[in-house]
Chain A
Amino acid sequence: MDDREPERAGVGAALVNPLDITDAALTLGGRILWSGLNLTVKPGEFVAVLGANGSGKTSLLRAILGQLPLDSGEIRVHGKLVTRGDREIGYIPQQRIMPAGTALRGRDLVGLGVDGHRWGPPWPSRTKRARIDELVAAVGAESYANLPVGVLSGGEQQRLRVGQALASNPSLLLCDEPLSSLDLHHQRGVAELIDEGLHQRRTGVVFVTHDINPVLDMVDTVLYLANGRFTSGPPELVLTSEVLSDLYGTPVEVIRSGERVFVAGIPEFPHHRDGEARS
């Protein structure tokens, strides 16, 4: 984490921040998910968003994607206010089952990221093919790029997803639980792939996850959402029993075991006590 500081300072001055969230508030179904939220993601910075189910992690991503309007405050992506379909954003969703009869091969999944949003039929083009080859190679998916997505493993699919998300050379990569339902080996591989992109391309990463361990050594900043409140900072400062107990308003214990961190005692449905937590 610290060793990244010098390189960031070197390039940083000339670069626009991939993400600036200023004093943002979001209410969903009458419930305040978060308010007064400030978050800056610098080029090459890896931000992990943690929090219990229903704490507004995914809604945060949807707000950055321009799919949910804020109640107040503003979100800027690469210096511009959010719009739907911003090419500066790459999006990696959770792995999902692709049915066997899906008319798509691995490379076509990547291709959707290249020109899937454009009108018209997919005329074959040399530039497009070259671009897909390049992306497939970048995520090391050459050996299965021509197989139907229906027969690919979760890990293979998520590698292709990274390629798909990088297609527009985004300055911000939004990841919504991209590692869940992958086995440990693939979790590591896909996480490293995302981290690589961030070093090479100076992308900013916002990584929503319920388990920080697969990416713990890559994370620069943790944004922890709970009970309509939040706290953020370097993982070693945020992931402590004191900070999280204070955030949840109930004793929470953070256990460190070797390279791994476990949080115990999080109330499952914190939204029942919203009123108290906000007062």
Chain B
Amino acid sequence: MSDFWGSIFNFTDYGELLLLVGNSIVAGAVLGVVGGLIGVFVMQRDMAFAVHGISELSFAGAAAALLFGANVVAGSLVGSLLAATLIGVLGSRARDRNSIIGVLMPFGLGLGILFLALYPGRSGNRFGLLTGQILSVDIPQLGSLIAISIVVLIVLLVIWRPLVFDSIDPDVAMARGVPARTLSIVFMVLLGLMVAVSVQIIGALLVLALLVTPAASALRVSASPVMVPLLAMLFGFVSAVGGILLAIGGSLPISPYVTTISFLIYLASRLIGRVKGRNLRRRTVVSA
């Protein structure tokens, strides 16, 4: 029994380990913050399924890069941008979009498995792409992950207001001259970039835990357009960094820690949202 818990939580030599994984923690922190933020738009644009679809193609790209000895981050980026652009161009209406994603997703996953099966290298690398491998990502790659996240953050800030307008109130936004088509393509590219980064850190199968769960939690607690992004970024940060900090001592991948933290935050948010919701309804009845 102590072995079991020892493999999940182990804090011996924690200080030295912490130094070794310092860069991973920085990358996790940046991913948590930017992922939480883009998640707010993912939720408002109803694109959680798209995130999953993009991540499977991103996985295929990364697996291909692994097999052919190319840069894994680059491979993952190619896969994800390809998927994001396809979904963005072909799926402007929700129903089209879901069918395209439903078709792309298994194809991507199948390709990825094929490439992995052909790959002769260590098996740890193989499953890392599906379930997370931040601790095995080398420093130059971590640097590029952080750089990509920062680019995404900057572009998101620039298109913020029209993107909110278009996501929440598309008819009026269009009447006001917001360039909906361009915005939606730009957003898909940003999403593709963020998914590629997340695949490296938490794995293709679990990307939703950082790109959707934090924002979904935030939306449970607040409806303020300022508080929701701030909370989503905080929740993403706590999940990613907390997950890494708990994971480094043990021998398990970080993903279960990250997904569990973000899920617990979601549960707590639902509870808080419920209490708040009851109060809100009371107030509406009074004001009506």
Contact = CB atoms under 8 A, between A and B. Distances in A.
Interface of A: 65, 67, 83-86, 89, 91, 93, 98, 101-105, 108-109, 112-113, 115-122, 124, 143-144, 147-153, 161, 164-165, 174
A75 B130 CA distance: 56
B173 A116 contact: yes
Contacts of B160: 119-122
Most chain A CB within 10 A, of B160, B161, B176, B220, is at B176
Interface string B266-288: 00000000000000110110011
Contacts of B252: none
A153 B287 CA distance: 11
B287 A112 contact: no
A149 B218 CA distance: 16
Contacts, number: 112
Contact of B161 (A83, A119, A148, A151): A119
A120 B159 CA distance: 6
B157 A120 contact: yes
A117 B162 contact: yes
20 contacts: A65-B175, A67-B175, A86-B177, A102-B168, A103-B44, A103-B219, A104-B223, A112-B165, A112-B168, A116-B162, A116-B164, A116-B178, A117-B177, A119-B161, A121-B160, A122-B161, A144-B287, A153-B288, A165-B172, A174-B175
Interface in B153-175: 157-162, 164-165, 168-169, 171-175
A108 B220 CA distance: 18
B258 to A, nearest CB: 23
A117 B173 contact: yes
A151 B175 contact: no
B158 A112 contact: no
A12 B207 CA distance: 61
A148 B223 contact: yes
B22 interface: no
Interface in B119-170: 157-162, 164-165, 168-169
B168 A148 contact: no
B2 interface: no
A67 B174 contact: yes
Interface in B214-234: 216, 218-220, 222-226, 228-229
B112 to A, nearest CB: 32
Nearest to A85: B177
The 4 A-B pairs of least Cβ separation, nearest first, read A85-B177, A148-B223, A116-B165, A91-B175
A91 B165 CA distance: 14
Interface in B89-144: none
A117 B226 CA distance: 17
B161 A115 contact: yes
B153 to A, nearest CB: 11
A156 B211 CA distance: 33
Given A104-B223, A119-B159, A121-B157, A151 B284 contact: yes
B171 A149 contact: no
Contacts of A117: 161-162, 165, 173, 176-178
A24 B138 CA distance: 65
B40 interface: yes
Given A102-B168, A151-B280, 4 more contacts: A65-B175, A112-B172, A116-B178, A122-B164
B185 interface: no
A66 to B, nearest CB: 8
B43 interface: yes
A166 B245 CA distance: 52
Contact of A143 (B172, B226, B280, B287): B287
Contacts of B162: 116-119
Contacts of A85: 175-178
Contacts of B283: 147
Nearest to A61: B175
Contact of B158 (A104, A120, A153): A120
A129 B229 CA distance: 19
A83 B176 CA distance: 10
